[in-house]
Structure 1
Amino acid sequence: MTLSIIIPCYNAEKLIQKCVESILVQKGFDFELILVNDGATDKTLEVLENLAQTDERIKVINQENKGLSGARNSGIEQAQGKYIMFVDADDWLESNAFNIVSKNFNNEDLFCFSYNRVFDNKITPRDLKIEGSFDANFIQRRMVGLIGKELSDPSQADSLVTVWGKIYKSDFIKKNNIQFVETKIYGNEDALFNIQYLEFASNSKVLNLPLYNYRKNNYLSYTNHYKPYLFQQWKMLYQKISEIITNKEDEFKVAFGNRIALSLIGLGINETYSNLPFSAKIKKIAIVLHDDLYIKAYQNLEMKYFPMHWKLFFYLAKSKNALGVLSLSYIMNFLIKK
C-alpha cells in the first residue's frame, strides 16, 4: 500500500519540523509526504526545502496563498499514492500510529482513527463512542448529525468529521472530482468533504484509539481564531448538505436538524473569542435564536437524552434567551480549556 500524506503549511516554521519528524519515523506503510507551502510569509518554505533534502519521500509544493482548502487540493493533484491522508502542520502522530493502523486496515473505503486534543496544560483523548466496521451510509449519517441516544454527548457532533485521522482511497477522490471548497462560504469544509466522499463509499472502519495529536493551543493555525461570519458560513454549509441528503432516509433529516440545533454550541463559543462589546455579542446570538432555520431545529430537538446542563442550554435557546446562551458559552469555553 502506498499512502500520500498531504500537509498544508502556512506560517508553520516553528511547528512543521515536529510534525514531519513524527511521520518520517512511521513503519507499516510505504508513503510519500507532500508539503504544500501555501504562500507563507515567514521561513516556512526554507524549512520545508531543508526537510526535503533529508528524505527522498518528501515533495514540496510552493504556491501563492489559497487557504487550507486550496492547499489540500493542490496536494491531491500531486498525490501518487493509492490512498490519501491529511495532516495539519501544527499537529503530529503517535510514533506507532502507522504500525497500529496497518494491523487493523483491510482496504476499507474509509478508515478513521481517534485523536488527542492538546491544550496548553492538558491532553484529552477523544472517545469517539463507536468502533468497528460500518456501512458507509451509517458513517455518513453520523457525520450529518447525531440522533437518539447519541445526543447524550453533544460534543460528538463534529468529533468524526475532521479530514485528518482518516485514510481515503485516492481514486474515489480523483474519479469523482471531490475537492475541498476553496472559498470560506461553508465554514466546515471537512464535514462537506467527508459527506461528499461517503456518497461513493460502501464500507468503513473506525478505530477508537488516539493516534493523532490535534493541537488546540496554536493561535497561528488556519482555524484557531474568531470567525465573524461563522453563522452565515454554516447556513451555506447546511444548504449544501441539504442538497446531498435530499433523497436519503428520514433519519438523515432528523440528524440534519439536530446538527443545526447543536451548532449553537460552536456559535456561542466562537463569540467568546470576539473583541466586540458584550452587548454586541448578545445581539449576534439573538439573531441566531430568531432565525427560522434554527427555530425549526429546536422545535424538533429531543431533549430527553441530554444531561441537565445541556437541557438548560437548549431550554435557554428555545426561549430565545441570548444572554443565558452566551453566558453558558463562556462557562463551557472555560471548562474546555481548564
Structure 2
Amino acid sequence: MKLSIIIPCYNVENFVQNCTESIVMQQGFDFEILMINDGSKDNTQQVLENLAEKDFRIKAINQQNQGLSGARNTGIENATGDYIMFVDADDTLEPEALKTIADFFQEEDLFCFSYNRVFGTKKLPRKFNIQGKFPARFIQRRIVGLIDTELSDPSQTDALVTAWGKIYKTEIIRKNQFQFTDTKEIGTEDALFNIQYLEHALTAQVLDMPLYNYVKINADSLTKLHKPNLFGQWKNLYAKISEIIMAKDAEFRKALNNRIALSIIGLALNETFSEKPFSSKRQKVSEILHDDIYQKAYQNLEMKYFPLHWKVFFYAAKYKYATWVLFLASTMNFVINRNNSPSKNQMFNFANNK
C-alpha cells in the first residue's frame, strides 16, 4: 500500500525544507512526496529540485500559478499511491506520525487525525472530542455543521474540515473526478471537497491524537487578512453544499443552517481586519445580518445549547445589532490572540487561511 503526500508550494524557500525533513524520516507507509511549485517568485523551484535530487521519493513539479486548489489538483493528477495525504509547505508532521497512523489505519475510505496549532515554540493541541470508527455519513454531517449539544462548543465547527490531517482513498477521488474548487469562487476549498468526497465513501476513522503541526510562520498584515468578497463566496459555498444534501434527512439541513448562522463569527472577524472606517465595517455586517439566508438561519438556530457569551453574540446577530456583533467579534479576536498568538486564530479554520 502506497501513500502519495501532496505538498503545494508557493514562495516557501525559507521553510519548505523543515516540512520535508519532518516527512522523509517517517516509517509505517511506502510513500512518495509530490511537491508542486505553483509559480513561485522566489527560489522555491531550485530548493525543490535540490530536495528531489537527494531523495528519489521526492518529485518536484513546476506549473504556472493556479492557487492552492490548482496545486492540489495537479498533485492528485500525478499521484501514484493508493492513498493521498495533503500537507501545507509551512507545516510539519510529528515524529512517527505515519507509524502511529499505520498502527490504527485499516484501509478506511477516510482517516482523520488531530493536529497542534503552533505559535512559535508553543503547541496547542486541537481536540476533536470524538474518536473511533464511524460511518462516512456521520463525519460528512459533522463537516456540514454542528447540531444539538455539539453547539455548546462553536469552535468545533471546522475541527474536521481541513484537507490536511486526513488520508483519502485515491480510487474514490479518481473515479468521481473530484477536484478542489478555487477559493475565489467559494472562499474555502476544504469543506466542499470533503463533503463531496464523503458522499461516495462508506467508512471513516477519527484518531484524536495530534500528529500534524499547523504552523504560522509569516504574520500577515491586516490588509492581507481581509477578504472583501468572503460573504458572497461563502453564500456560493452554502448553495453547493445545499445541492449535495438536498435529498438527505433533516439532520443535514439543520447542520447547514447552523453552519450559516455560526459563520457570522468568521464574517465579522473578517471585517475587523479591514482598513476601512468603523462605519463601513458596521454597514457590511448589517448587510450580512439582513440577508435572507442569515435571517432564516437565526430563526431556526437553537440558542439553548450555547454558553452565555455565545448566546449574547448570537442574539445580537439574530436581532441585527451590527454594532454589537462587530464589537463582540473584535473583543473575541483580541482575547483569542492574547491567549494564542498575534498572527493567527483558529476559531474558524477556513476564515483565516494562511
Question: What residue in structure 1 maps to residue 159 of structure 2?
Answer: 159
Is 1:18 the counterpart of 2:18 in the alignment? yes
Q: Which one-letter code corresponds to 1:321 in the other structure?
A: Y
The gaps in structure 1 that reach 5 residues or longer are none
Paired with 1:120 and 1:103, the residues of 2 have a C-alpha distance of 30
Paired with 1:293 and 1:26, the residues of 2 have a C-alpha distance of 46
> Once structures 1 and 2 are overlaid, which stretch shifts more, 183-192 or 91-100?
183-192
Question: What residue in structure 1 maps to residue 179 of structure 2?
Answer: 179
Structure 2 counterparts to residues 201-220 of structure 1, below 5 A: 201-219=201-219
SS of residue matched to 1:61: strand
Question: What residue in structure 1 maps to residue 200 of structure 2?
Answer: 200
For the 8 Å contact 1:257–1:301, the answer to whether it is kept is: yes
Paired with 1:249 and 1:39, the residues of 2 have a C-alpha distance of 43
Paired with 1:220 and 1:30, the residues of 2 have a C-alpha distance of 36
Task: Using the TM superposition, give the Cα deviation of residue 219 of structure 1 relative to its aligned residue in structure 2, in angstroms.
Answer: 3.9
SS of residue matched to 1:320: coil
Paired with 2:321 and 2:216, the residues of 1 have a C-alpha distance of 29
Paired with 1:313 and 1:120, the residues of 2 have a C-alpha distance of 31
Q: Which one-letter code corresponds to 1:105 in the other structure?
A: F
Q: Which one-letter code corresponds to 1:165 in the other structure?
A: G
Is 1:81 the counterpart of 2:88 in the alignment? no
Question: What residue in structure 2 maps to residue 303 of structure 1?
Answer: 303
Is 1:290 the counterpart of 2:290 in the alignment? yes
Is 1:37 the counterpart of 2:37 in the alignment? yes
> Once structures 1 and 2 are overlaid, which stretch shifts more, 328-337 or 293-302?
328-337
SS of residue matched to 1:197: helix
Q: 1:103-151: CA deviations, max 9, x gaps? A: 0000000000001112247321101111100000010001000001000
Following superposition, which runs of at least 4 residues in structure 1 exceed 4 angstroms of deviation? none
TM-score by length of 2: 0.93
Q: 1:257-314: CA deviations, max 9, x gaps? A: 0000000111111122211112111111111110000010011101111111100100
Task: Using the TM superposition, give the Cα deviation of residue 332 of structure 1 relative to its aligned residue in structure 2, in angstroms.
Answer: 1.4
Q: 1:42-99: CA deviations, max 9, x gaps? A: 1111111111111000001100000000000000000000000000011111011011
Cα distance change on mapping 1:121 and 1:19 into 2, 3 Å: closer
Q: 1:197-243: CA deviations, max 9, x gaps? A: 0011001000001110112453469xx72211111000000000000
Q: Identical aligned pairs, as a percentage?
A: 63
Structure 2 counterparts to residues 1-338 of structure 1, below 5 A: 1-120=1-120, 122-182=122-182, 184-219=184-219, 225-338=225-338
For the 8 Å contact 2:118–2:215, the answer to whether it is kept is: yes
Task: Using the TM superposition, give the Cα deviation of residue 315 of structure 1 relative to its aligned residue in structure 2, in angstroms.
Answer: 0.8
Q: Which one-letter code corresponds to 1:291 in the other structure?
A: D
TM-score by length of 1: 0.97
Paired with 1:22 and 1:225, the residues of 2 have a C-alpha distance of 28
Cα distance change on mapping 1:237 and 1:45 into 2, 3 Å: same
Q: What is the RMSD computed on CA atoms of the aligned residues? A: 1.3
